[in-house]
Amino acid sequence: MVEKKKRERPAFNRSIAAAISKHYKDVQTNKPMAYLLMASNPLVEIAYAARIQPAFPENYACACAAGHASAGYCETAEAYNYSPDICSYCRNHLGYIYGPGENPPTGGIGEPDLLLITSSACTHYFKWWDALHEIYGKPLIFINTPRVMEPQSKPDFYMDYAMREIEQAIGEIEKAVGVKITNDKLSEAVKLSGEVVDYWQKLLEMQKAVPCPMDYSDLSNALFVLIVLAGTQEGVDLMRETYNETKQRVNEGKGILSKDEERHRLLWINIPFWYKLGIFGYFEDRGCVFPLSDYTHHIWGTTRMDGSKPIESLARKALEGELNTSVDDQIDKLLKDAKEYHIDGVIAHSNRSCRVLSVGMLDAVDIIREELNIPALVLDCDHTDERVYSDAEIMNRIDAFLEMLA
């Protein structure tokens, strides 16, 4: 029987946990407050420039799942005739709205004054935000951007169109909340966002080190800073702290596992099981780490931001990221990164209610398996709805995969 070890996690996790707690207190008290999507969303920086408090229902769903509350919220949403096929982030949030309970996780997410959405996200989110518009009757502001099927040959007019959309959205936000978003404020938010992204890119590069300095759960934690606190000095400070500690770990040869313990470096495709993050500890006890995932590497933090060109930078952010590109492009990135991160196995989450990240995933697994000659395991589950998770089935399949790796 494999011994379960208690491992020391990077200290930055405690700082990020404090920032998450502060964020939800801010969401419940600061006004005006807007719901935003966690896609590669230029409206985040615009919101901070306008002194609007952003709130993210998707992140709240993660918090609910981690606290094992999401299944109940999903069930409540289904009682209101929302289909089980809809993304469990969406069902979690709608279930919370219709039946939050006496003690919702983190104290709840509050009622928005504004609804902000971009098209560079999951396609059904438009209907989610439309439902929120009907429920709350608050202004809905939308940035529409083209789908970029071939990033290397993107037409020039895409940028012009996206920039006009952003300028129009800024005007609508100013009118909705009665503020003036000056160029100085917008430039400052974009500059700070650029600093966060720069640190993030350096973090991802350090994941190539052996032993791996952070595991998937650590990197997923840092995603909160990259997405939620983009455009803030708090985000810069937290990401700098995360980078400095990780750099020190790499310089000292310190990893999640020691160099002798680290036997396998795995790629995780799709979103993790937020209610079962302890599963990564199970892999660690068996000599496996996850230095790479499409979820952490290819969706957010892909755009270099320039504070001297705020509108252009925000337009590029709106057009980039895995959610706004083709399956072929995604597979090419995975193949390239799998080689650079020394990946020797794949865990792919066939996510029942996340269509956008699951479409083409089986093709990606087959191509990676054939071209790199490494084993792969596909797990059928859900990122937030714990009701579809079977511990016995999942763990039996993982054990069989680990035996194949050995």
CA distances, 35 to each of 21, 38, 110, 193, 337 (Å): 17, 10, 10, 19, 33
Task: Provide the CA 267 distance to its chain's centre, in angstroms.
Answer: 16
Looking at this protein, which amino acid is placed at residue 225?
V
CATH topology of domain 12-405: Rossmann fold (3.40.50)
Return the domain boundaries, the chain: 12-405
Q: Which residues of 102-122 are buried (b: 16+ CB within 10 A; e: fewer)?
A: eebbbebbbebbbbbbbbbbb
pLDDT, position 249: 97
Looking at this protein, which amino acid is placed at residue 59?
N
Task: Over range 135-160, report the average pLDDT.
Answer: 87
What are 308-328's pLDDT values in tens digits? 999 999 999 988 866 677 788
Beta-bridge partner residues of 140: 115
pLDDT, position 3: 64
- Which among 341, 369, 375, 367 has a CA at the least distance from the CA of 265? 341
Cβ-contact 316, 161 below 8 angstroms: no
pLDDT, position 55: 98
- Classified as helix, coil or strand, 163 is helix
**pTM of the entire structure?**
0.94
Residue 112: pLDDT over 70: yes
Q: What is the DSSP string of 225-246?
A: HHHHTTTSHHHHHHHHHHHHHH
Residue 126: pLDDT over 90: no
CA distances, 32 to each of 21, 113, 168, 270, 360 (Å): 19, 6, 20, 33, 40
